[in-house]
A and B are shown apart, each in its own frame.
Chain A
């Protein structure tokens, strides 16, 4: 037996080992699934809220990565365009992989812990800062049925958890053993506490109007057209909310915590590598979160700004085609590729047959994906809702980026006096006016 084995080639040996192993594993898995599927499904069904929470938390944490990459890329490209530059255009088509490469660079850097820092707190701080952001994403409704959890105190939860990032910043600044870090952290704490008040008070008007703190209900109450959105009822509230949210997200012109010209890099001075990256990862996700909350509260959430003018209802029943369906699946790609590639092949003698076929294949795929997306947009409410929600959110992200490209940073005393002398009284005024209007309209 051993003699035969030694005469076999490497590939044959691998084949002889792998195929039986796969057979055994497959058999075991089949038996295990057959035995365990029922009980596992029962268990999951019995604990649906838990399953939902785990799934939502996983989805949200995974979601933050593309969101941050897209926003970083937007920031590079949009600010470059506003400076009359082209911006990154080397990595990937139109420089789209720039932020990914940026992230890889940060990941590959040395993760350095300076001497003198309070190591456990220093290590925990970026985690605390980052953790608070996806936790706030949990309550934001993205589309009908697409949300992490529907609390009846969602708004309260949002502000409570959102304020947690300041704890992380304070930890980072205090543990860093660096005066600039400590100054940045203290500024962050002062600023966050000052702006937390107008931020929370500015949405009290909405809570009075809606009669609930559930974000889902608030969005549902804004259903209809453009003019049913809360922005028409609470313009002052939106203004205060937006300014305070800018400060909460530590964005220019209110990014006193960073202030590289004054504080080196604020609380992040002593951080390097991915721990440094986590602070800014959190910041960019925070921009998305704050934009999403603005849309949910004031701009109708997932609601379209108008009724869809063409009431298209596609009731496709592929099963009705019978045997034709098989032919469609088998023939449509081939026919589509040839038909779409034919014009290129005919029009130019420089396009070879193979190139024309490749062009046809790509066009066919684009066509099919476009048709599928259009079909999903028309027929599934959550697809169109998600599209509107993401679209509106990125309009706000764009405004945040544009503000960074436009406005200079304010002074720290201007920042504080503006919060306490202007924003807070305005927010209180907004609450009084809303309350009076609501009571008058209710008693009439």
Chain B
């Protein structure tokens, strides 16, 4: 067909005519919000000018616009005010505090040099000896450490790593995988059992009532960061169904009906930490 003069023009006109009737790709933004996947991660990038200096002027407009507050900054900018750090708040969360301190003109602590608190390593050594220094029995070692200290201190885990020769990352991974381990002493654990019997007898309603009363969700901590709501790993022996455990102690008097009030009373024990909405 290409030998017919003007055929290309006609083809082009036909193409634009088809496009004319095709659905349009424009999103009328303020009225229509685009359908963005929950796990979408926009890629952040800082731009440099032709001299290699950062174009960022630390105006905080992007940080204010960011809906999930994942952008933050601090340090020296192009006018020598702040050094610009940026990124997700999980990795740069402490910089938020830094920036706030620096803006307030106060001394900024350097978290790199904040050492973990020391613990009595003799107890750790005893536990390890009981377990024959065997890294394969890491779960029971960690459980014994938690029973000893009430939590898993970083110093104890470092000691385990140093003595048994297993990687700290592996130990940390094991410790963070199981929900009944905890790293901070201050967090109380309110745990709901999720065995079939409990769920059949209203375990779900119990969990919902607790979440309402504690103003948090399952697997998360209360707004004051003091109480964690979690699942129990196993059903406690001899406890009725459904059951709630407070720091591993079954609380048989808590039922789905009074769970919310019970949880509120638990939060209300510390009125100083009550959050204001």
Interface positions of A (Cβ within 8 A of B): 78, 81-86, 89, 402-403, 405-407
B12 within 8 A of A: yes
Complex Cα spacing A84 to B26, Å: 7
Does B13 have its Cβ within 8 Å of any Cβ on chain A?
Answer: yes
The answer to whether the Cβ of B47 comes within 8 Å of any Cβ in the partner chain is no
Interface 9-mer from B15-23, B153-161, B229-237, B257-265: B15-23
Across the interface, do A81 and B20 meet the contact criterion of CB distance under 8 Å? yes
Question: If the complex has contacts A86-B26, A406-B15, are A78 and B9 also in contact, measured as CB distance less than 8 A?
Answer: no
Q: Given the complex of chains A and B, what is the CA–CA distance between A78 and B16 in angstroms? A: 10
Does B28 have its Cβ within 8 Å of any Cβ on chain A? yes
Contact B16 A406 (CB under 8 A): yes
Contact count band on B: 10 to 19
Of the residues A86, A89, A402, A407, contact of B17 by C-beta under 8 Å: A402
Question: Does B136 have its Cβ within 8 Å of any Cβ on chain A?
Answer: no
A sample of 18 cross-chain residue pairs with beta-carbon separation below 8 angstroms, ordered by A number, consists of A82-B16, A82-B17, A83-B19, A84-B19, A84-B22, A84-B23, A84-B24, A85-B25, A85-B26, A86-B24, A89-B28, A402-B16, A402-B20, A403-B13, A406-B9, A406-B15, A407-B9, A407-B12
C-alpha spacing A402/B16, complex, angstroms: 7
A residues less than 8 Å from B17 (CB atoms): 82, 402
Residues of A within 8 A of B16 (CB): 82, 402, 405-406
Give complex CA distance A84, B21 in Å: 9
CA distance A157 to B190 in the complex (A): 96
Cross-interface CB contact of A81 among B9, B19, B28, cutoff 8 Å: B19
Q: How far, in whole Å, are A78 and B22 apart by their CA atoms in the complex?
A: 12
A405 nearest in chain B by CB position: B16
Q: Let me know if A82 and B26 touch, CB within 8 A.
A: no
Contacts of A89 in B (CB 8 A): 28
Q: Do residues B24 and A406 form an inter-chain contact, with CB atoms below 8 A?
A: no
Q: How far is the CB of B27 from chain A (nearest CB, A)?
A: 9
CA distance A78 to B17 in the complex (A): 10
B20 cross-chain contacts in A, Cβ below 8 A = 78, 81-82, 402
Known: A83-B19, A89-B28. 17 other contacts (CB 8 A): A81-B19, A81-B24, A82-B19, A84-B19, A84-B22, A84-B23, A84-B26, A85-B24, A85-B25, A85-B26, A86-B24, A86-B26, A402-B16, A403-B13, A406-B12, A406-B16, A407-B12
CA of A202 to CA of B20, assembled, Å: 32
Residues from chain B with Cβ under 8 Å of A84 in the complex: 19, 22-26
Q: How far is the CB of B32 from chain A (nearest CB, A)?
A: 11
- Shortest A87–chain B CB gap in Å is 8
A82 to B28, CA, bound (A): 17
Min Cβ gap B20→A in Å is 5
Give the nearest-CB partner of B13 in chain A.
A406
Residues of B within 8 A of A82 (CB): 16-17, 19-20
Residues of B within 8 A of A78 (CB): 20
A402-B24 contact given A83-B19, A84-B19, CB 8 Å threshold: no
Least Cβ distance of B15 to chain A in Å?
7
Per the bound structure, the CA–CA distance linking A392 and B138 in Å amounts to 86
User: Would you give the shortest CB distance from B72 to chain A, in whole angstroms?
Assistant: 34
Closest 6 interchain pairs by CB? A86-B26, A82-B16, A406-B16, A406-B12, A82-B19, A81-B20
| CA–CA, A82 and B24, complex, Å | 9
Interchain CA distance A407-B11 in the complex, whole Å: 11
Residues of A within 8 A of B28 (CB): 86, 89
Residue of B15, B19, B23, B28 ringed by the most chain A CB atoms within 10 A: B19
Shortest CB–CB separation between residue A242 and chain B, in angstroms? 11
Task: Give complex CA distance A254, B16 in Å.
Answer: 19
- Complexed CA–CA distance, A402 and B22 (Å): 15
Question: For residue A403, which residues in chain B have a CB less than 8 angstroms away from its CB?
Answer: 13
Within 8 Å CB of A85, what residues of B? 24-26
How far apart sit A407 and B12, CA to CA, in the bound complex (Å)? 7
A84 to B17, CA, bound (A): 11
Which of A81, A83, A86, A402 is the one whose CB lies under 8 Å from B13? A402
With both chains docked as a complex, state the minimum distance between the C-beta of A225 and any C-beta of chain B, in angstroms.
26
Q: Which residues of B contact A81 (CB under 8 A)?
A: 19-20, 24
Q: Which residues of A contact B23 (CB under 8 A)?
A: 84
Of A78, A82, A83, which is in contact with the most chain B CB atoms at under 10 Å from its CB?
A82
CA distance A82 to B26 in the complex (A): 12
* Chain B residue at minimum C-beta to C-beta distance from A82: B16
CA distance in complex: A406, B13 (Å):
6
- Nearest A-chain residue to B8, judged by Cβ: A407
Residues of A near B25 (CB, < 8 A) are 84-85
Expressed in whole angstroms, the Cα–Cα distance for A405 and B13 within the complex equals 9
A252 to chain B, nearest CB (A): 12
Most buried by A among B13, B16, B28: B16
- CB A58 to nearest CB in B, in angstroms, measures 37
Complex CA–CA separation, A89 to B28 (angstroms): 9
Q: Which single residue of chain A is at the shortest CB-CB distance from B11?
A: A406
Which of chain B's residues have a CB closer than 8 A to the CB of A86? 24, 26, 28
Write out the residue numbers on chain A whose beta carbons fall within 8 Å of the beta carbon of B12: 406-407
From residue A422, how far is it (CB to closest CB) to chain B in Å? 9
What is the CA–CA distance of A329 and B261 in the complex, to the nearest angstrom? 74
Distance to closest chain A CB from B175 (angstroms): 54
Q: What residue of chain A has the Cβ atom nearest to residue B15's Cβ?
A: A406
B6 to A, closest residue via Cβ: A239
Chain B min CB distance to A215 (Å): 28
A407 / chain B contacts, CB cutoff of 8 Å? 9, 12
* Bound Cα distance from A407 to B24, whole angstroms: 21
Chain B proximity of A344: nearest CB distance (Å): 25
Instruction: List CB contacts (< 8 Å) of B177-227 with chain A.
Output: none
CA distance A183 to B9 in the complex (A): 28
Q: Determine the distance from Cα of A89 to Cα of B25 in the docked complex, in whole angstroms.
A: 14
